[in-house]
């Protein structure tokens, strides 16, 4: 139960922070800006070694949001550089996240096929 509460707090804080940025900044910040910002910040914090402690404490609350995707990209690139050299940085992040990306595409296709999207 404690893990669920931690995940809820971390994931909720990340969502709250993004919403506050959109609502309180004088710029026209869109959800797309938040998406790109979270992936970038997650990758940078991961590369600096600052995101892993959040993952260890918050679990899925830190790995499921977009900042967790950036963390996975960065960790994949770092691991690939260790194994394959500098050229590993080009594909390591995609290799580490390819299963999740493929699942999102397949499940999106299945849902779009089964249901009539209104948009």
Among residues 26, 40, 38, which one has the least CA distance to residue 93?
40
Residue 60 burial by Cβ neighbours in a 10 Å radius (0-12, 13-18, 19+): middle
Per-residue pLDDT of the chain (119 residues; tens, 9 = 90+): 899 999 999 999 999 999 999 999 888 899 999 999 999 999 999 999 999 999 999 998 998 888 888 999 899 999 999 998 888 888 888 888 899 889 989 999 999 899 987 76
**CB burial class (10 A; 0-12, 13-18, 19+) of residue 69?**
buried
**Cα 32 from Cα 16, distance rounded (Å):** 16
Which ranges of 25-65 would DSSP assign to H, the alpha helix?
31-47, 52-58, 60-63
Q: Which residues touch 67 (CB under 8 Å, ≥6 apart)?
A: 14, 38, 39, 41, 42, 45, 51
How far is C-alpha 48 from the geometric centre of its chain's CA atoms? Answer: 16
pLDDT of residue 94: 85
Residues 18 and 76: their CA atoms lie apart, in Å, by 25
pTM: 0.78
Residue-level pLDDT at 119: 63
pLDDT the model gives residue 14: 93
Both tokens of 53, joined, read 């402690």
């Amino acid at each position: 139960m404690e893990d669920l509460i931690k995940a809820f707090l971390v994931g909720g804080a990340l969502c709250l922070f993004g919403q506050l940025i959109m609502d309180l900044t004088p710029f026209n910040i869109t959800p797309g800006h938040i998406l790109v910002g979270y992936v970038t910040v997650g990758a940078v914090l991961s590369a600096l070694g600052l995101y892993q402690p959040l993952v260890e404490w918050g679990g899925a609350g830190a790995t499921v949001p977009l900042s967790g995707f950036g963390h996975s990209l960065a960790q994949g690139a770092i691991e690939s550089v260790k194994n394959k050299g500098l050229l590993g940085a080009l594909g390591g992040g995609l290799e580490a996240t390819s299963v999740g990306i493929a699942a999102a595409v397949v499940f999106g296709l299945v849902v779009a096929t089964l249901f009539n999207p209104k948009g």
